[in-house]
Structure formats: C-alpha cells, structure tokens
C-alpha cells in the first residue's frame, strides 16, 4: 500500500446535513438490488412547483446541506435542469445527481459544470458480463459512455458500486477502470435487503458475510485509492471497543420520497416508520411509533434497525452474546492518498 495512504472514519456531525431527494420512483431499469418500494414510496413524479417548495423546506431547516437528487432515475424528470438551478439559488452545500448513466432529456447539454458538483454514476461490475447480469443488458456500455461524455464536458464524476457476491470478484479490477474514466470519488455500497432485494428469495445469499467483507473490501478500497481517488465505504462492522453511534440521534439526514414520506434512516424505508412527512408543504412529525423512537434504544448488537430488519447479519456465541456489533449504515470509512 502507498505509504501516503490515509484512512479515517467520517464522524457524524449536525453541521454536515444530507438531503436525499427522490424526485420520482420511475426508472428505465430493473436492477436486482433496487431499493425502491413503490407501495411505500409512491409512484408519482413531483412537479416542479412542488419540488421547489420542498427544497425550500430543507434549505431553511438544514442550511448548506448536501443535496442528492435521486429516483428512480432522476434524469427521467423533464425539468431536472430547472431543479438543479433552483437548488443552486437556495445555497445548498453541494448538489449531486445520482444516475444510471442513460442521461435522459439531454441533461448534460441543459446544465453547466458550475451548476452541479457531481454526476454520480452507478456501475456494478468491471466488465459488461458482470454489470449487465445485475443491472440489465447494455447498461455497462451506456453507463461508461455517459461517464465519458460527462467528463468530456467538464463535469465532475463519481461512481457507486454496490457490492454483492455477484460482483465482489471484480471490485479490485475497478481500480484500472476508475483511473481510465477520470473518476474523482468512488463509493462502495453494501447490498441491503430492501425493495427488490427484500422480495428476492436469493438476496440473502448475495449479501457478503462479515469475513468476506473484512477480507476483501478495505484492501480493495485501498488499491483503488492509490489511483488518486477518494474511496468511501460503509463501516458495517464495529471493532471491539469502538463506540456505536446512530445517525438518527447525532446527525441530520433526510430521505425524501415523492409521496411525502421523510425518513431519517434508510433501513426503515420498506416500512411506514418515517419520522417525518411533508403535508401541505410543511414538514411535520409523525405520531408514535416511528423510527425516531427506535433510535433511542440501546442494544448489545449496535444498530437496532439492523437487528429488526436484517438479523441474519448478526452472530452470537453459545451464551447468546453478540460476536460483534453492526455499525450505523451511515457510518463511513474514507481512504485517500495524502498530498
């Protein structure tokens, strides 16, 4: 490993807010691990006036928050360019669009690089064979082409890779691809049993075991970071003696869906447990019991939501004591070459 490599755990902070804003749930793809749950998130596309009013809510509640525009596929929204410009006027700390790379409605021609901080692309394989088995035929080629077009026009690009047993073997191979594409940030995500995955009988077999994760992901992240890329990945498992913190208690994150539900924890999104909701263009607290009441619970396993919805991630000794604790899913490790 490069001697200049630096690794840090990104601590939670009320001063660093994030708004994950789903403009719609429609998508042109049907990825195997898609977390969208139409029954819980709605199937409407927000109109531009509603989007502006909702952006106002969070710009006032969380000044300088990082805004991530999502779907579904957000570039399917015909007025995404106007959304990006309005967000810029409201002085969000940063504006990112998460995209599958198809870049509908000529979005790269309708906004300027100075109006957006990142286009963040999703790719789940270093080869077309692996990626397309997860995301659909032809998606590798389209995503690569989209990243090259964005970079050629001067946009900053980042890449998201959702790790499962279907593509773990190609994670390290992403180093060469990331370098070739000029990616500046690389995000590794863990597959969760949410949305489509929750309904997939084979999904549990796709999740990595603790040993598989620890033996592979941190080392692969370091090798990718050697290309001069900032690599971020979830902590997932706490080491002995490490403090458990819940982002729902000590951070300021909002996951906003088109039906008005606003969650504070992404693991809760398959359930009507949202702590907040937008009603008549006002953000209101939901009555008990909701996710915020669960955040207050302290358990030996660490994350109480993981214990409830993904207990297969845990293991116990003969006395019933957890072998390890699960970190908050929002707790990240960041690795980069020190300049």
Rounded Cα distance, 36 and 192, in Å:
12
Enclosing H/E stretch for 190: strand 185-190
Determine the Cα–Cα distance for residues 240 and 48; give it in Å rounded to an integer: 48
Average pLDDT for the chain: 93
∠ CA 55-283-257, nearest 5°, is 60
CA distance 70 to 83: 12
Q: What is the pLDDT of residue 8?
A: 87
Per residue in 76-112, pLDDT (tens digit) is: 999 999 999 999 999 899 999 999 999 999 999 999 9
pLDDT, tens digit (0-9, with 9 covering 90-100), for 278-289: 999 999 999 999
Cα-based distances in Å from 52 to 77, 82, 86: 14, 9, 7
- What pLDDT is stored for residue 101 in this prediction? 98
Q: Give residue 118's pLDDT.
A: 97
Q: How many CB atoms lie within 10 A of CB 41?
A: 23
Q: Report domain extents, the chain.
A: 5-337
pLDDT, tens digit, for every residue of 137-187? 999 999 999 999 999 999 999 999 999 999 999 999 999 999 999 999 999
Per-residue pLDDT band at 10 (split at 50, 70, 90): confident
Single pTM value for the model: 0.95
> What percent of the chain is predicted at pLDDT more than 90?
83
pLDDT at position 74? 98
Cα(64)–Cα(94) distance, integer angstroms: 8
> How many Cα atoms are found within 13 Å in the side-chain-facing hemisphere of 91?
5
- Average of per-residue pLDDT across 36-63: 95
> CA 315, 319, 323 angle in degrees (round to 5)?
30
Q: Is the pLDDT of residue 204 over 80?
A: no
Find residue 98's DSSP bridge partners: 120
Mean pLDDT, residues 313-321 taken together: 94
pLDDT digits (tens, 9 = 90+) for 244-274: 999 999 999 999 999 999 999 999 999 999 9
Quick one: pLDDT at residue 12? 78
* Distance separating alpha carbons of residues 237 and 322, to the nearest angstrom: 12
Task: Provide mean pLDDT across the span 328-339.
Answer: 90
pLDDT(197) > 70: no
Q: Which residues pair with 253 in a beta bridge?
A: 18
- The pLDDT score that the predictor gives to residue 63 is 87
- The domain defined by 5-337 folds into TIM Barrel (3.20.20)
What local confidence, expressed as pLDDT, does residue 91 receive? 81
Report the SS3 class of residue 83: helix
Average pLDDT on 120-136 reads 97
């Amino acid at each position: 490993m490069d001697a200049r490599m630096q690794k840090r755990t990104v601590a939670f902070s009320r001063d660093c807010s994030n708004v994950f804003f789903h403009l719609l749930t429609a998508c042109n793809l049907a990825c195997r691990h898609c977390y969208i749950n139409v029954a819980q998130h709605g199937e409407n596309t927000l109109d531009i006036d509603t989007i502006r009013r909702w952006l106002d809510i969070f710009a006032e509640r969380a000044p300088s928050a990082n805004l991530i525009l999502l779907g579904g596929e957000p570039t399917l929204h015909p007025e995404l360019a106007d959304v990006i410009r309005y967000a810029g006027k409201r002085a969000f700390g940063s504006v990112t669009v998460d995209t599958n790379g198809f870049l509908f409605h000529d979005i790269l021609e309708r906004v300027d690089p100075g109006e957006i901080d990142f286009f963040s692309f999703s790719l789940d394989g270093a080869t077309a064979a692996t990626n397309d088995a997860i995301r659909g035929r032809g998606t590798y080629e389209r995503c690569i082409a989209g990243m090259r077009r964005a970079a050629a026009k001067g946009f900053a690009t980042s890449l998201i890779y959702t790790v499962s047993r279907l593509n773990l073997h190609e994670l390290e191979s992403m180093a060469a691809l990331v370098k070739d594409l000029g990616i500046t940030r690389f995000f590794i995500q863990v597959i969760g049993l949410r949305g489509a995955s929750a309904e997939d009988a084979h999904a549990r077999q796709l999740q990595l075991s603790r040993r598989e994760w620890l033996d592979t992901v941190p080392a692969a992240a370091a090798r990718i970071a050697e290309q001069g890329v900032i690599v971020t990945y979830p902590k997932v498992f706490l080491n002995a003696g490490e403090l458990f913190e819940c982002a729902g208690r000590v951070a300021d994150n909002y996951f906003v869906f088109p039906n008005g539900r606003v969650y504070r924890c992404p693991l809760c999104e398959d359930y009507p447990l949202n702590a907040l909701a937008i009603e008549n263009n006002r953000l209101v607290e939901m009555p008990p019991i909701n996710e915020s009441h669960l955040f207050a619970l302290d358990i030996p396993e660490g994350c109480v939501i993981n214990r409830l919805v993904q207990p297969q991630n845990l293991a116990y000794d003969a006395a019933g004591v957890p072998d390890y604790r699960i970190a908050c899913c929002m707790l990240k490790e960041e690795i980069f070459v020190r300049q």
